[in-house]
Amino acid sequence: MEYRIIKNEEHNGLEIYFDEKPSEEVRSALKEIKFRWHGMKKCWYGCAEISTVENILGGKVAEVKTARAEILKKCFCKTVDAYLDPDGGYKGSNSNVSAYDVPDKAREIIKACGIKGVTVSKHCASMCVEITVKVRLLDGDVKPFEECREALEDVNANGYLHGGWMVDPDERREVSVSYWNEWDGEKQRRAVALWARNKYDTYVNGYPFSICHGWQLKREEAPMFTEQFFDRWEAMTKIISSFNWNRSNSQVDYFDVNFYEEWKILAAA
């Protein structure tokens, strides 16, 4: 098999022209380093060192794939960004996909990027399609409680008093936030500590509520999760958002989206 490697100065990348269709092994290896087929130019294109490409074309496929797999495992967000490469004409074009086909298309990307512990499904109603994303907690996704206890209490210090309700640490029942000023400092501290522990347990044991379209989990609001978890979570938001659009107008209560989103956190298996 003969080939030519041409440097694309405009995109700081490489183009590979073959005299015949390369083997499935070579094509798979090129995809591993995020090369794509250009239907108009009839070439494979992407960004990589020439030596890496020559290793693939020279038969050292297994070595290159193993090294690439180790790199990709370190950051799924970057992997997804590479897969949804705007220079490849892919990013943004997914919004043309029918909402009914989103789960199958999303699974293709999830598999290609090696993301584990997530599922995507759809629910069809009379007026809309809802896409449900479930992210299961894996080993290394959750910090020990004592490691994040202070951060949880700090989050609560600002947000708790604006919620309207709190849990009385003595009676263990919900009461109006107006009771707060009647408690001494020690009881206030215990109330905040109880809230922090409850929130930790709620998330770690599988968040029972849906995280709806238009709102996403933030690091500062959920300090019990590690960078590893947020990498997977944010990689999934990139994938799902590439299929959606939001042309809604809140001024007139008008909603126009490709589909509604529902996100859930599942406890570790």
Q: What burial class does residue 21 get, using C-beta atoms within 10 Å of its C-beta: 0-12 exposed, 13-18 middle, 19+ buried?
A: exposed
To 10 degrees, what angle do helices 24-32 and 61-72 make?
30
Question: In angstroms, rounded to a whole number, what is the distance separating the alpha carbons of residues 129 and 48?
Answer: 39
Question: Please, which pLDDT band fits residue 4 given cuts at 50, 70 and 90?
Answer: confident
Q: Beta strands 3-8 and 43-46: pairing type? A: unpaired
The more confidently predicted of residues 208 and 34 is 34
The pLDDT-based confidence of 225 (bands split at 50, 70, 90) is: very high
User: Each residue of 188-208: pLDDT tens digit?
Assistant: 889 888 888 988 998 899 876
Token pair of 143, please?
Answer: 């910090």
pLDDT at 243 over 90: no
Say what the pLDDT of residue 89 is: 43
CB 211 within 8 A of CB 217: yes
Domain boundaries, the chain: 3-72, 83-140+226-266, 145-204
